[in-house]
Amino acid sequence: METKEALIQESLGYILEESLIKEIIHSSQLKIYDVDHTIIQIGDEMRFMPIVLSGSIKVLRENAAGDDLLLYYIEGGDTCAMTLQCCVKNATSEIKAITMEPSSLLMIPVEMMETWMNKYASWRTYILQSYHMRLTELMETVDAIAFMKLDERLLKYLTDQAKLLGSLEIHHTHQQIAEDLNSSRVVISRLLKQMEIKGLITLQRNKIVLSSI
DNA sequence: ACATTAATTGTGT
DNA sequence: ACACAATTAATGT
């Protein structure tokens, strides 16, 4: 197991200046989570901004009825500046975040955010870039929901997932996929079957294998 | 190794 | 959407 310092240096060392790295090491908390662990639940009080050091997490929105919708993913070295933004206002989370693989996260206390924003140019750039990336991904998701049919969205979901986890195999049940896409299990099963007939994928229990990306 | 049960997936209405 | 059948994995004996 790598030390906290090494992990931080490895993922952020190139982007952030030395003195800031020292401060981060000093005031952050390192958290290690297993796969499918809920890091942030809706209504949680936001006292930390997470930076993903390794692994990846998905961010979902939930409606009043309790249906989920996948918004975007956050990979290693990335952060969710939006988490911070949407939570400064009312201090509770509007979204939930779940690990997609075993992941290590760095928890930055929110009170450090403003201090560092004023103090470090590299931090400002980092946060703004992250913010921009999240917004771009969010727009892509909005486009997908507004303009793509479910079968196209499903294919995009599978390829995104494969790219992110670096494997053609996707270990999800049809039910879990349906939840991410805010659809129903039967519909997903049928669409997947069609894709299998077209030769795009092969189906096994708890596992979908992409023929190609 | 076998039987039982639970979870997942497939299909017709 | 619902109901049910079929298949597969997990567990106990």
Q: What CATH number corresponds to the domain at position A176?
A: 1.10.10.10
Q: What 3-state class would DSSP assign to A171?
A: coil
Q: What is the pLDDT of residue A87?
A: 58
Domain of residue A186 covers: 149-210
| A24 lies in the same domain as A114 | yes
Q: Is the CB of A188 under 7 A from strand B?
A: no
**Which residues, including other chains, have CB under 8 Å from residue A171's CB and lie 6 or more apart?**
A206, A207
Helices A121-147 and A110-119, packing angle to 10 deg: 120
Per-residue pLDDT 10s for chain A (213 aa) are 678 899 999 889 989 999 999 999 999 999 999 998 999 998 888 888 999 999 999 999 988 777 889 999 999 889 987 777 665 666 788 889 999 999 999 999 988 988 999 999 999 999 999 999 999 999 999 999 999 999 999 999 999 999 999 999 999 999 999 999 999 999 999 999 999 999 999 999 999 999 887
Q: What is the pLDDT of residue A88?
A: 63
Of A95, A130, A146, which one is at a domain's C-terminal end?
A: A146
Q: What is the pLDDT of residue A94?
A: 83
Distance CA A203 to C1' C8 in A? 13
Nucleotides of C under 7 A from a protein CB: 1-3, 8-9
Q: What is the pLDDT of residue A149?
A: 92
Distance CA A24 to C1' B7 in A? 44
- Closest nucleotide to residue A189 (Cα to C1')? B9
**Which residues, including other chains, have CB under 8 Å from residue A73's CB and lie 6 or more apart?**
A56, A57, A58, A59, A100, A137, A160, A164
| A193 lies in the same domain as A163 | yes
Nucleotides of B under 7 A from a protein CB: 7-12
Distance CA A186 to C1' C6 in A? 15
| A192 lies in the same domain as A88 | no
